Amino acid sequence: MELDQLPDGWTIYVWLIAGAMIIAGAIYALRWAKKNEQFDEDIKYLVFDEKDKEKMSPEEFKKSQEVLAAQMKRREEVLKEKEEQNR
């Protein structure tokens, strides 16, 4: 069967299926991101280190150090979990 022999209005179903697939993909991506801790607002602090202390306010630098310590702790936890799963 050729495309020009199909009845009128069949293309709307192609668009509906494509739209549904895009929505399903977006939902999957958002669930993956939430599960893998990708929505962390404090991630911006991870680009700073001790050399940036004079460029930041004391509050920002303190927050940066706290976020870095928490992130390193979480990193160790994740690596430990992965190591236990591989055993």
- Name, in order, each residue with C-beta under 8 angstroms of 71's C-beta and a sequence gap of 6 or more: 46
pTM over 0.75: no
Separate counts of helices (H) and strands (E) for the chain: 2, 0
**Domain spans of the chain, in order of start:** 1-39, 40-87
- pLDDT tens digit at each of 87 positions of the chain: 676 777 888 889 999 999 999 999 999 999 999 998 888 888 888 888 888 888 888 898 899 899 989 989 999 999 999 999 988
- Name, in order, each residue with C-beta under 8 angstroms of 45's C-beta and a sequence gap of 6 or more: 60, 63, 64, 67, 68
For 28, 33, 47, 74, the CA distances from 37, given in Å and listed in that order, are 14, 6, 17, 10
